[in-house]
Amino acid sequence: MALLPILCYPDPKLHTVAAPVAAVDARIRTLVSDMLETMYEAKGIGLAATQVNVHERLIVIDVSEQRDAPLVLINPELLWTSEQTHLNEEGCLSVPGIYDGVMRHDAVKVQALDGNGQRRLIETDGLLAVCIQHEMDHLLGKVFVEYLSPLKRNRIKTKMLKAQREARS
């Protein structure tokens, strides 16, 4: 197991569109286990492969209180989203320290392969539905700050670049 470095906004690599995973093989199983370790260590509830600079359609999630219910979604496809939406306060491990509201569907239905390559159908709502939408956006190269106004987004970009400069010096 290994901790993977997480890309930080506004790194342009975060805007890469991920390609499908060709086969759930030993390389993917190692990546899944490294991503889970990285997500737990960073105290996140989700992580997309894009955020660790791997541009394949793979996400890991754990929204459980005990942090003992990992969910692995490989090649996830959104089959259905509810008409009903709500404003959700979100954060992102690639935009540390920034939280803001994003409109999300209340419920989603997703088809994916799990970590064993088995097909899974998930219909869910609440935090899991929000997290799935957030992570699937990453696979499309979209970071949650892109839902915010250009003014807010530019302020966040400036703040992140300053923090990264200071961390280097």
Q: Which residues are catalytic?
A: 135
Considering CB distances under 5 to 8 angstroms, the limit depending on partner class, which of ligand K1U, Zn ion, none binds residue 128? none
- Looking at the DSSP bridge assignments, the partners of residue 19 are 56
Sign, CA torsion 46/21/57/107: negative
| Binding-site size, Zn ion (CB under 5 A) | 1
State how far the Cα of 97 lies from the Cα of 156, in Å rounded to an integer: 10
Using CB under 5 A as the binding rule, whether residue 160 contacts Zn ion is answered as no
Peptide bond into 10 cis (omega under 30): yes
42-71 positions binding ligand K1U, by CB under 6 A = 44-48
Using CB under 5 A as the binding rule, whether residue 128 contacts Zn ion is answered as no
* 152, 153, 154, 160 alpha-carbon torsion, rounded to 10°: 110
46 versus 115: smaller Cβ distance to ligand K1U: 46
34 versus 90: smaller Cβ distance to ligand K1U: 90
CB nearest Zn ion: which residue? 92
Using CB under 6 A as the binding rule, whether residue 135 contacts ligand K1U is answered as yes
- In this structure, how many other beta carbons lie within 10 angstroms of the beta carbon of residue 115? 19
Interface residues toward ligand K1U, by CB under 6 A = 44-48, 90-94, 130-131, 134-135, 138
